[in-house]
Amino acid sequence: MPIQKLTLPMVGIDNEADPPWEHLSTLFHIFPHIVAAIAILSAATLPYMEGRTFEVLVVFAILSLQVIMRGVADLGFRRRHPSDTAQKWLKRFTLVSVLSGVAWGASLAILYSGGSPDTQVVILAIGCGILQSSAARAYMAPRSTLLVIFVMIAAINLVAVREGNWIMVPICLAYVGFLASYMIRLIAMDERRLAAETKTRTLVAALAESNEKLTYANEQLRRHAETDALTGLGNRRGFDVQLSHCLGRYRNDREPLALLLIDIDHFKLFNDTRGHQAGDAALQVVAEVIAACMRDVDGTAARYGGEEFAVVLQGNHALQPAVFGEDLRKRVASLFLPTADGGSADLTVSIGVATAGPEDDERSLIALADRRLYDAKACGRNRVFDTDHEERLVGSA
């Protein structure tokens, strides 16, 4: 029922995942209480002019204590321990809120009692303003706000009835009914706001999760698209992307760059005599050796095509690429690949090495490494060439 909303301690207080700390911060703020104290003391000028100095001093003392109490509560809330719960501070707010209602009600009742009609009208106007202000924040803490309203109305009505002004009772009851209906609408609006925010957060979380899954799926697709299914190394597409990236680092950061093209010797004959399954196994074994050599190396490896592989080295390892190539060649030469007839077959590779220069691009670097690979195969295979064949001939003459 709508009336039950007025008994809520605070909208959203049961949400442990997202407690309404913002509401509590607003409720504990001292500024509205300073304004209320100033308003009541301003109204007290009329009783003071009527010679009721003692009553005014009592009201001043009550309001001073009330403002000090709210200031201490506000400071305590701001310095609360991170482990404190919203429930704990809501209970403290309810206590100081009711005490504030008692202070306001007592102050207004003291100033109202025995005052002239003009003074009483002003006091009632100030009281209505404070009640209206309290009701405007009822959506934050309905129960304590209702208690404050009842305490203040009761205090003024007791004084009015004592002076024979019974008409105040139905008027105040009507006013309380108006405030109650106003509070119910505010509470309903805040509940709808909280529900909308919760729904929005749920949708945003679901969207973030979907985006994360989509990003992961796209990354998997990209890796799949740039990975050779047989060997697990990068494929030609992935190699092109990585070579372009490494050339960018070479040009921008002057990091040394070298390219090795690796070809399995006599692979066509191996395939024809041993069968395609043995050929696939040979490709996988060579790929495993290359991957092992690439551990702790700044670079990338790929199946360039057919029985040919490519390795890009960057940084310190690119300063001596022939040493890396020779180590790789020896590891492959030491392999003995089991065959279907129970025997074994040996493998060798030829390697062409090219080191990037200032004028090189992807095409020229690949062409240089390919030419040196061709020279290595032409000169007997199972070797590493990092210079052109003509340079070797000149050096040996």
CA dihedral 109, 114, 120, 123 (to 10 degrees): -30
What tokens does 21 get?
């700390």
HSE of 282, CA atoms in CB hemisphere, 13 A: 30
What tokens does 237 get?
């597409």
Contact between 94 and 141 (Cβ < 8 Å): yes
Distance CA 190, CA 140 (A): 8
Q: What's 29's DSSP letter?
A: -
Bridge partner list, 301:
311
Contact between 276 and 306 (Cβ < 8 Å): no
Distance set, CA 36 to CA 33, 107, 261, 369 (Å): 5, 11, 85, 87
Contact between 113 and 106 (Cβ < 8 Å): no
What tokens does 379 get?
């000169």
- Say how many Å lie between the first and final Cα of the chain, rounded: 106
Per-position DSSP letters for 251-290, written without gaps between them? HHH---EEEEEEEETTHHHHHHHH-HHHHHHHHHHHHHHH
10 Å CB burial of residue 374 (0-12, 13-18, 19+) is middle
Give the closest residue to 372 by CA, choosing from 361, 363, 362, 383: 383
Alpha carbon 189 to its chain's center: 29
Query: Which among 307, 326, 359, 362 is annotated as catalytic?
Result: 307
Contact between 351 and 261 (Cβ < 8 Å): yes
Is 16 tagged catalytic?
no
Alpha carbon 99 to its chain's center: 42
Catalytic sites, residue numbers: 307
